[in-house]
Homo-oligomer: A and B are copies of this chain.
Amino acid sequence: MKKIINAPEAFVDEFVEGILAAHPDLVKTPGDDIRVLVRADAPRPGRVGIVTGGGSGHLPLFKGYVGMGLCSGVAIGNVFSSPSSEQIFEATKAVNGGAGVLYLYGNYGGDVLNFDLAADLADLEDIATRTVVGRDDVASQPNERKLDRRGVAGIIFAYKAAGAAAERGDSLEEVVSITEDVVEHTATMGIGLAPTILPTTGKPSFELGDGEMEIGIGIHGEPGSRRGPLETADEIADHVLAALVEDLGLKAGARVAVMVNGLGATPLEELYVLYRRAHQILSGLGIEISKNYVGEYATSLEMAGASISLLELNDDRLALLEAPAKSPFFQEG
C-alpha cells in the first residue's frame, strides 16, 4: 500500500500539525507536546473535564472529538500505541476547571495502565478523576464477560453523552453515571476485508486470504469471532445485527441509535448499502431508529471494512445525543 507521507517516524507529529494548522479556533496545545490537545476554551471553570486518548491511526478518533459538547482534551501515542501517563496528565491539568476530570477511552491494556498512572499523578495535585472505559465490541468477549470487552466505535456515543452532561454543568459523579449508562447500552461488531499497512514497519496489521472476510474484527485487526468467505452486504448486516440485537436484548418497541462506521478504505456508498439493510432488519423487528450516523467515525488507517454500533435509547440518552456539539470532525445541531 502506497502512502502519502514523509518520514514514517514523523507521520504522527505531522498530521497533528496539520490538525492544529486547520483548526486553531477549536483546539490548542496546552504545552510543548503537540500530541496533547485540548479545546480552545479549556479549562472551563466549574465544568467537568473529559480526557480521552489512545493510539494514532484512527481519525477522526481520538483527536477529532475534542470540542464543545464532546471531550475537553486528548493525548495520543504512536500508531496503535498508548499515549504516556505524562501526556495524559498534561491534558488533565489543562482541562481541569475544578469540577474533576473524567477519563473516557477504549478498553486496551496499555491505555488502562497509562490512564491509571495519570490518575495517580492527578491525585497528587488534588485533581479528582474518575474512569469509564468503552467496551462495546461484542465479538471480543461473550456477554458474560462484557466488562473485559475491547472498546471500538461505540465510544462516540459515550463521548456525545458525557460531553453533553459536562457542558450543562453536571457533577463528576453525574457525568460518570450517565456515561456508564450509555456504555452499558452500546454494542458494536466489525467486519474486516483488508488490512492496513503500518507506516513504520511496512507490515499489514493482519493477514486475510483472497475472498475472505473476518467477522468481529477489532479496530487494530484483532481476530474476530470467525473467518470465512466474503458475504454479501445483506448477509453481513444480518449477522452483525442479529448479534447486536441479542447482546442488548432488544425487543419490539425499543428505540436505538445506529452507527455504520467505515474502517478506512471502504466507500461511503457501501456503508449506505449496509445502513439500508440495518434499517430493514430493525424495522422488521419493530425497533425504531431514532438517530443514525453513517460515515467514518473510528478508522484503522486504510483498513477495508466497517462496523455497526447500536445504542439502545431512552428519552434521556436521546436528548444527550441531540444536544449541540462541535469539534473539528463532528457537529450536532
Contact = CB atoms under 8 A, between A and B. Distances in A.
A127 interface: no
A233 B294 contact: no
Of A269, A276, A296, most buried by chain B (CB within 10 Å of CB) is: A269
Given A264-B265, A276-B17, A270 B232 contact: no
Nearest to A192: B2
B266 A21 contact: no
A267 B299 contact: yes
Given A18-B274, A211-B2, A59 B234 contact: no
Interface in A192-251: 193-194, 211, 213, 230, 232-234, 236
B21 A213 contact: no
A306 interface: yes
Given A233-B5, A236-B4, A296 B273 contact: no
A57 interface: yes
B299 A14 contact: no
Given A4-B233, A304-B2, A22 B264 contact: no
B267 A21 contact: no
Contacts of A14: 233, 272-273, 276
Nearest to A6: B232
Nearest to A294: B22
Given A236-B4, A331-B331, A19 B266 contact: no
Nearest 4 interchain pairs by C-beta: A18-B272, A18-B276, A265-B265, A59-B268
A146 B177 CA distance: 60
Contact of A266 (B4, B191, B304): B4
11 contacts: A1-B194, A2-B304, A15-B272, A18-B271, A18-B275, A19-B272, A21-B279, A57-B267, A59-B268, A265-B304, A295-B329
Interface in A252-310: 264-276, 279, 292, 294-296, 299, 301-302, 304-306
A324 interface: no
A140 to B, nearest CB: 21
Given A6-B234, A6-B273, A267 B59 contact: yes
A3 interface: yes
